[in-house]
Amino acid sequence: MSLTPDQPSKSGAMTPGSIATELSKLDLPAPSGLKLTLPTTNPKSPLSGDAGPNSALSGNSLFSPVGTDDTGDISGPEPEALTVARRKARSESVSEQLSTTLSEMKLPQPERIFGPNDEQNVEGSEKGKQGVSPEDWDKVKLDDEVPEAVKEPRRMTHSRHTSRADAAVPRTPTIPETPEPSSSSHTVAKEQKVTPFDVEGEVDAEGKDLGIDYDKLTKRFGATLISQELLDRFERLTGEKPHPLLRRGTFYSHRDFNMILDRYEKGQPFYLYTGRGPSSDSMHMGHLIPFMFTAYLQRVFNVPLVIQVTDDEKYLLERDIKKQAELMKKIKGKKPLDLLRHYKKMGQDNIRDIIACGFIPEKTFIFSDLANVGGAFYENVVLMAKTVTQSQSRNVFGFTDSDNIGMFHFAAVQATPSFSNSFPQIFGTRDDIPALIPCAIDQDPYFLLTRDAADKLHYKKPALLHSKFLPALQGAGTKMSASKENTAIFMTDDAKKIAKKIKSHAFSGGGASQELHKQFGGNPDVDIAYQYLGFFEESDEKMEKLAKEYRAGTLSTSEMKAACIEKLQEVVAEFQKNRAEVTDEKLAYFQNSTRKIDPRPKPKEEAVEAAPAA
């Protein structure tokens, strides 16, 4: 912490430093066992009363096959170990609690710390000493335990909002020689900032980008790192080797994944939920890897999957007026509805790509918000919306007063697929079936709110699997961008183009010259070809052999790239074959909201047979 603490100014106006001091005196509640006591949610009120998972719903069951007998003791007691673990688990309420505490403090906004006539506001004074400028405010660390999203309630750059598990900037150091940053080995001048709309890595005192510290992020968000024990249990129970993305650490953190495995073990139902904000450009590998991973999970677990395509979000959350105006011009739109409909159409194109990732058709429901919000789904949107205050939405997502009410409200729409009774065609009126949500770590704030709300609504909390951000071809510090052809492999690229991109653009961890490489070896940890190969290559032996020989300098950069190219060509070719088979009928089938889906878990043997024909 390189911050120079500020003294409170004589007039009593608060400076960032004095606020930090006050905060430290606050005796913030310890993360575990924290009780939420917001005025709108009196825990003593019948609203959050004694209704447990056993309570029957009064409405008619729209779907009868779901029965306790069929699905095991769904509402029975949880295993003791899990109960203990839960009790110890850090409560997500901490974010809300802190948010409330912060809002009650009536902190002055940065630009208002000193009024126009305030003596302390000496123009031209060296910045960083008085702590008065917005830049200095940026450097203030209020408290190490405050989640980023809560700590930084300022306007954020709206740099990305394309996918739940999108491929964005890894922000690992741009210099290959530098090892991956760890939370202890650096002096961090500017903390990383991760919200669903903006991802910024740590910056040191010299302004150098230190990248995302994922361990710290997980700790801050109150999630849990995925342990080898957990992966072993997964393999033991499912009989399947963990997916390369899991065992090589791209999906690296979770919430309640052990609870999902408990349910799997006991034959109790659960389901998968993921989503995407539609994009106009072609989808690239970074977009689709999370869906491929989700398809793998569905095959392994043989459970229902819902995929939300947030065409409404795309329209509501685009703050770049110029960009939207250009798009309007391009589509020859005359009124906002035309633009909204364009996003809806984009969503349909994206759904074709998503379908090509190979889900179990009978168990998968893909939906556009614009087409599907309504009925039981809208009921849950309303219930969810009431659990989130305006200041929480602002703090967690970084919204401002000039942002539109749809942006503030959208959290309720993204949360709703986490509740099983939002999908009567699958779960009838059952609201006690939890979702497992694979998503990029930056989407976690949505589900922090959702998990807190689940308690209030007497619904099941969703479990999560968090991924890191996938690196662009250029490696750390460059963004995988759908509008920048050479930053990513597109799912429409042919074999030749893939080869060319990897050869010309994939950041190499090899030596500066062939001679130096042979002498000192290369670094596979920052080598994009090696990384990309690792997303798909099943053989750990092959990966280890490649890494070992690369480090030794006996495997050349071009040999490493060749191995990568071969694998990517294979993956993309299979995708393209699947994509060509997505007919209009198939598109409609996946989106048919009246199609009944059997929510019952199946024994392993049947699951294998149910693997996708495509």
Considering only residues 341 to 400 of the shown chain, the ones binding a second copy according to CB under 8 A are 341, 369-375, 377-380, 382-383, 385-391, 393-394, 399-400
Residue 208 is a binding residue for a second copy (CB under 8 A) = no
CB of 343 to a second copy, least distance (A): 10
Report whether 196 contacts 443 (CB < 8 A). Answer: yes
| Residue span binding a second copy (CB under 8 A) among the ranges 309-317, 466-474, 570-578, 604-612 | 309-317
Per CB under 8 A, does 431 bind a second copy?
Answer: yes
Residue 318 or 485 with smaller CB distance to a second copy: 318
Binding test (CB under 8 A) with a second copy, winner from 25, 35, 88, 329: 329
Residue 419 C-beta: closest distance to a second copy, Å: 9
132 binds a second copy (CB under 8 A): no
C-beta closer to a second copy: residue 257 or 377: 377
Tokens 């749809």 correspond to what residue? Answer: 406
Asked if 312 interacts with a second copy (CB under 8 A), we say yes
Q: Which of 4, 11, 32, 68 binds a second copy (CB under 8 A)?
A: 11
User: Is there binding between residue 113 and a second copy (CB under 8 A)?
Assistant: no
SS3 366: strand
The stretch near a second copy (CB under 8 A) out of 208-216, 335-343, 468-476, 509-517 is: 335-343
Contact 290, 166 (CB under 8 A): yes
Taking the complex as a whole, the smallest distance from the CB of residue 78 to a second copy amounts, in Å, to 19
Residue 8 buriedness (CB in 10 A; 0-12 / 13-18 / 19+): middle
103 Cβ contact partners less than 8 Å away, ≥ 6 residues apart: 391, 395
Strand locations in 117-197 (E): 188-190, 193-195
Radius of gyration of the chain (CA): 25
How near is the Cβ of 106 to a second copy at its closest, in Å? Answer: 7
Q: Which is nearer to a second copy, 282 or 593 (CB)?
A: 593
C-alpha–C-alpha distance, residues 507 and 509, integer Å: 7
- Specify whether the backbone of 289 is left (phi greater than 0), alpha (psi in -120 to 50) or beta: alpha
Rounded CA-CA distance 114/131 in Å is 10
- Determine, following the binding rule CB under 8 A, whether residue 324 of this chain makes contact with a second copy: yes
Smaller CB separation from a second copy, 166 or 431: 431
How far apart CA 181 and CA 171 sit, in angstroms, is 10
Q: Would you count residue 457 as binding a second copy (CB under 8 A)?
A: yes
Q: Which helix (H) or strand (E) holds 147?
A: none
504 binds a second copy (CB under 8 A): no
Read off the tokens for 527: 């080598």
Nearer to a second copy, 102 or 360 (CB): 102
Does position 64 interact with a second copy (CB under 8 A)? The reply is no
User: Least distance to a second copy from the beta carbon of 415, Å?
Assistant: 11
Secondary structure (DSSP) of 549-594: HHHHT-S-HHHHHHHHHHHHHHHHHHHHHHHHT--HHHHHHHH-TT
Q: Which of residues 35-54 bind a second copy (CB under 8 A)?
A: 39-40, 42, 45-47, 49-51
Distance of alpha carbon 141 from alpha carbon 21, whole angstroms: 10
Tokens of 560: 């490493």
Q: Which of 64, 184, 228, 402 binds a second copy (CB under 8 A)?
A: 402
